[in-house]
């Protein structure tokens, strides 16, 4: 839940990455996103170590949708991590940071023709194809550019992961991928094999996000292996790659128990050893973790500016951020834990609802949580906000987005600057009188 380097000192003050939160607030202001380098590195290395036990070694591709910036792409490149991107913008960010295109997986259920051409020209390692239209577009763009497109087909395996319906993606009734039912996936494989400028390297399936048990991941790998075996038996085709997606859950609440990565990888290793035909090489296993790399590395720091008791006795405290920097509570009832700097280990004696500053009744960050007595100007720290917070942030109400600061061993590094009012109007063009008669 908290970053690995989080600690509270004798005077109840919070430290992250060897720095006092209070000093970071004095330097950068609030709201403020902090990322702990040690936590990110530990999570990356855990995936790399676990996947290195496979034969052939697997590969992790960090899902950039969780959080991406040029500095993040640089860190990933330095750690020799792969990267999953879903748009021309994410691809541009990675390439600008000098990220190796061969280690990029280009995803997305709607890729425009120009995004496909951009990815092919950049020579990304893999394109994950999501629809029949896209398969044809990839073929025609690859033919036009005189290249061969390295393709994985996204399969919808019909697995219902136990997570919020908005972040479930593996069930047949989904906008993603080719369903295994009704021969849809088989038709896609047939077409991919017929296309002259497509090289079908294997399959991908991502079943959802914030999944807390191991079984769906094993089930997913087994489903992709079964499909591969059917194709080997009927047509002699066998995949080089099976990508089982991301989705490992994290601790948003103290009682959350994330799945055991090593146990999952070990079971997949057995499945692959058992399921690979004796005449073929075992496929490489890819994973695409996003949240489980970055979420717990991050916290968001706010200042409490309003406190009110409403008729009936309920207490609201309101902070200087909210749904503009963290849309998840409003989008899918995500729940967070928080603490107050300088009171971090005090007894929680007050039940409060933490609201944001945006003009929506639904702009509530945490409902009815227990905190020590909250005072105006207190610094409120919300935990596990590293994933899908900054990356989903908006300028609703024309509020500038907060900065992102990486902390490590007593040093702070500005990764993304706070937006200014000037940034907000950057793309605006001034009013010019319209040509027709005024009304
Ligand atoms: C295709 C795909 N891969 C990977 C991820 C990353 O998932 P998570 O952040 O839960 O690990 C997602 C998330 O939506 C996804 O859609």
Q: Whose CA is nearest to atom 12 of ligand 1?
A: 246
**Contact (CB, 8 A) for 365 and 382:** yes
Positive or negative, the CA dihedral 240, 244, 246, 252 is negative
Q: Report the 3 state secondary structure along 99-116.
A: CCHHHEEECCCCCCHHHH
**Minimum mean pLDDT range among 132-136, 170-174, 221-225, 399-403:** 170-174
Cis (ω within 30 of 0) for the bond into 174? no
Q: Whose CA is nearest to atom 14 of ligand 1?
A: 209
Instruction: Tell whether the model's pLDDT for residue 129 goes beyond 80.
Output: yes
Provide the pLDDT for residue 139. Answer: 98
Instruction: Tell whether the model's pLDDT for residue 297 goes beyond 80.
Output: yes
Provide the pLDDT for residue 163. Answer: 65
Ligand 1 atom nearest to 387, measured from its CA: 9
What is the average pLDDT value for the chain, to the nearest integer?
95
Contacts with 246 (C-beta within 8 Å, 6 or more apart), sequence order: 63, 84, 206, 209, 287, 288, 289, 290, 291, 292
Q: Which residue has the tokens 């899902």?
A: 63
Mean predicted confidence (pLDDT) in 391-396? 98
For residue 208, report the distance from its CA to the centre of ligand 1, in Å.
7
Question: Among 72, 107, 247, which is best to mutate for testing ligand 1, by the most ligand atoms less than 8 A from CB?
Answer: 247
Ligand 1 atom nearest to 291, measured from its CA: 9
**β-strands 82-85, 104-106: how paired?**
parallel
Mean predicted confidence (pLDDT) in 315-325? 97
Q: Which residue has the tokens 């942030």?
A: 393
For residue 290, report the distance from its CA to the centre of ligand 1, in Å.
6
Q: Quick: pLDDT tens for 190-219.
A: 999 999 999 999 999 999 999 999 999 999
Provide the pLDDT for residue 170. Answer: 63
Mean predicted confidence (pLDDT) in 305-320? 95
Higher-pLDDT residue of 51, 162 = 51
Query: How many helices (DSSP H) and strands (DSSP E) are in the chain?
Result: 12, 21
Higher-pLDDT residue of 174, 412 = 412
**Minimum mean pLDDT range among 24-38, 157-171, 236-250, 297-311:** 157-171
What are the strands, taking DSSP E only, across 321-376?
338-340, 350-355, 364-371
Question: Among 105, 206, 213, 332, which is best to mutate for testing ligand 1, by the most ligand atoms less than 8 A from CB?
Answer: 206
Q: Quick: pLDDT tens for 398-413.
A: 999 999 999 999 999 9
Q: Quick: pLDDT tens for 330-363.
A: 998 999 999 999 998 888 899 999 999 999 999 9
Ligand 1 atom nearest to 288, measured from its CA: 4
Domains of the chain are 7-36+296-424 (2.40.37.10), 107-289 (3.20.20.10)
Q: Which residue has the tokens 């935990």?
A: 383
Instruction: Tell whether the model's pLDDT for residue 162 goes beyond 80.
Output: no
For residue 51, report the distance from its CA to the centre of ligand 1, in Å.
18
Q: How confident is the model at residue 182 (pLDDT cuts 50, 70, 90)?
A: confident
Provide the pLDDT for residue 164. Answer: 64
Question: Among 109, 288, 294, 388, which is best to mutate for testing ligand 1, by the most ligand atoms less than 8 A from CB?
Answer: 288
Closest by Cα among 247, 244, 385, 290 to 85: 290
- The catalytic site residues sit at 359
- Ligand 1 neighbours (beta carbon < 6 A): 63, 65-66, 84, 107, 206, 209, 245-248, 288-292, 387
Q: Determine what percent of the chain falls in helix, strand and coil, rounding each to the nearest 5.
A: 35, 25, 45
Whole-angstrom distance, CA of residue 386 vs CA of residue 380: 16
Burial of 20-48, coded b for 16+ CB within 10 Å and e otherwise, reads: bbeebbeebebbbbbbbbbbbbbbbebbb
Closest by Cα among 198, 248, 240, 195 to 218: 248
Q: Whose CA is nearest to atom 5 of ligand 1?
A: 246
Instruction: Tell whether the model's pLDDT for residue 11 goes beyond 70.
Output: yes
For residue 140, report the distance from its CA to the centre of ligand 1, in Å.
28
Q: Quick: pLDDT tens for 236-287.
A: 999 999 999 999 999 999 999 999 999 999 999 999 999 999 999 999 999 9
Q: Which residue has the tokens 């080089």?
A: 240
Percent of the chain's residues with pLDDT above 90: 90
Provide the pLDDT for residue 283. Answer: 98
**β-strands 284-287, 59-63: how paired?**
parallel
Provide the pLDDT for residue 388. Answer: 98
**Contact (CB, 8 A) for 250 and 292:** yes
**Contact (CB, 8 A) for 261 and 46:** yes
What φ, ψ does residue 192 adopt, rounded to 5°? -60, -40
Q: Whose CA is nearest to atom 16 of ligand 1?
A: 206
**Minimum mean pLDDT range among 158-167, 174-183, 285-294, 372-381:** 158-167
- Predicted structure pTM score: 0.95
For residue 43, report the distance from its CA to the centre of ligand 1, in Å.
16
Ligand 1 atom nearest to 211, measured from its CA: 10
Ligand 1 atom nearest to 169, measured from its CA: 16
Provide the pLDDT for residue 431. Answer: 92
Provide the pLDDT for residue 142. Answer: 98
Percent of the chain's residues with pLDDT above 70: 96
Whole-angstrom distance, CA of residue 239 vs CA of residue 256: 35
For residue 66, report the distance from its CA to the centre of ligand 1, in Å.
8
Q: Does residue 154 sit in helix, strand or coil?
A: strand
Question: Among 209, 244, 264, 389, which is best to mutate for testing ligand 1, by the most ligand atoms less than 8 A from CB?
Answer: 209
Closest by Cα among 179, 323, 366, 157 to 247: 157
Q: Which residue has the tokens 């909250």?
A: 374
Ligand 1 atom nearest to 128, measured from its CA: 1
Mean predicted confidence (pLDDT) in 76-80? 98
For residue 430, report the distance from its CA to the centre of ligand 1, in Å.
39
Closest by Cα among 224, 237, 376, 229 to 285: 224
DSSP symbol at 346? S
Mean predicted confidence (pLDDT) in 168-196? 86
Positive or negative, the CA dihedral 17, 22, 23, 28 is positive
Provide the pLDDT for residue 435. Answer: 75
Instruction: Tell whether the model's pLDDT for residue 173 goes beyond 80.
Output: no
Provide the pLDDT for residue 174. Answer: 74
Instruction: Tell whether the model's pLDDT for residue 167 goes beyond 90.
Output: no
DSSP symbol at 124? -
Mean predicted confidence (pLDDT) in 91-120? 97
Q: How confident is the model at residue 434 (pLDDT cuts 50, 70, 90)?
A: confident
For residue 368, report the distance from its CA to the centre of ligand 1, in Å.
30
Provide the pLDDT for residue 166. Answer: 59
Instruction: Tell whether the model's pLDDT for residue 172 goes beyond 70.
Output: no
């Amino acid at each position: 839940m908290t970053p690995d380097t989080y600690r509270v000192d004798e005077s109840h003050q919070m430290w992250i990455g060897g720095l006092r939160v209070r000093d970071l607030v004095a330097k950068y202001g609030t709201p403020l996103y902090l990322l702990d380098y040690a936590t990110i590195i530990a999570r990356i290395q855990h995936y790399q170590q676990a996947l290195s036990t496979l034969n052939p070694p697997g590969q992790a591709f960090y899902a950039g949708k969780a959080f991406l910036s040029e500095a993040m792409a640089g860190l990933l490149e330095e750690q020799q991590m792969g990267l999953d991107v879903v748009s021309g913008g994410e691809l541009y960010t990675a390439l600008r940071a000098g990220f190796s295109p061969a280690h990029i997986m280009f995803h997305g259920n709607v890729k425009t023709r120009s995004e496909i051409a951009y990815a092919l020209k950049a020579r990304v390692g893999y394109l994950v194809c999501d629809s029949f239209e896209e398969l044809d577009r990839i073929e025609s763009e690859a033919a036009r550019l005189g290249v061969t497109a390295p393709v994985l087909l996204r399969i919808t395996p019909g697995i219902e992961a136990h997570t919020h319906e908005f972040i479930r993606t593996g069930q047949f009734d989904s906008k993603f991928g080719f369903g295994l039912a009704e021969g849809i996936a088989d038709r896609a494989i047939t077409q991919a094999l017929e296309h002259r400028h497509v090289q079908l390297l294997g399959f991908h399936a991502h079943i959802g996000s914030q999944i807390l048990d191991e079984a769906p991941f094993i089930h997913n790998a087994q489903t992709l292996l079964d499909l591969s075996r059917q194709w080997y038996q009927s047509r002699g085709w066998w995949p080089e790659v099976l990508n089982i997606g991301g989705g490992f859950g994290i601790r948003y609440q103290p009682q959350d128990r994330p799945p055991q990565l090593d146990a999952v990888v070990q079971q997949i290793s057995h499945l692959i050893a058992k399921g690979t035909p004796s005449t073929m090489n075992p496929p490489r296993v890819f994973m695409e973790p996003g949240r489980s790399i970055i979420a717990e590395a991050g916290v968001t720091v706010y200042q409490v500016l309003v406190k009110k008791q409403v008729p009936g006795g309920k207490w609201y405290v309101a902070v200087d951020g909210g749904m503009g920097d963290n849309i998840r509570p409003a989008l899918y009832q995500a729940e967070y834990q928080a603490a107050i700097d300088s009171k971090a280990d005090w007894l929680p004696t007050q039940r409060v609802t933490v609201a944001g500053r945006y003009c929506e009744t639904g702009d509530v960050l945490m409902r009815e949580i227990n905190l020590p007595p909250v005072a105006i100007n207190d610094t409120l720290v919300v935990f596990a906000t590293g994933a899908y917070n900054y990356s989903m942030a908006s300028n609703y109400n024309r509020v500038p987005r907060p900065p992102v600061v990486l902390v490590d061993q007593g040093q702070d590094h500005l990764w993304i600057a706070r937006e200014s009012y000037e940034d907000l109007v950057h793309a605006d063009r001034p009013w010019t009188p319209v040509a027709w008669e005024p009304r």
